[in-house]
Amino acid sequence: MIAPIVLGLTDHEMPAIIEAAADSGAKSAAMIVLRLPYQVKTLFTDWLTTHVPTKSRRVLSRVREIRGGKLNVSAWRTRMRGEGIHAENIRNLFLAARRPGGTQLDLL
Q: Determine the structural domain holding residue 61 and report its residue range.
A: 2-102
Q: Are 48 and 55 in contact (CB under 8 A)?
A: yes
CA 59 to CA 80: how far, in whole Å? 17
Percent of the chain with pLDDT over 70: 91
Residuewise pLDDT in 10s, the chain (108 residues): 899 999 999 999 988 998 888 889 888 888 889 999 999 999 999 999 999 999 999 999 999 999 999 998 888 878 888 999 999 999 888 888 876 654 456 555
What pLDDT score was predicted for residue 99?
A: 62
* Domain total of the chain: 1
Q: Does residue 107 lie within any of the structural domains?
A: no
Q: Does residue 29 lie within any of the structural domains?
A: yes
CA 30 to CA 71: how far, in whole Å? 22
Q: What is the dihedral of CA 52, 54, 59, 65, to 10 degrees?
A: 160
Q: Does residue 8 lie within any of the structural domains?
A: yes
CA 49 to CA 16: how far, in whole Å? 26
Q: Are 58 and 10 in contact (CB under 8 A)?
A: no
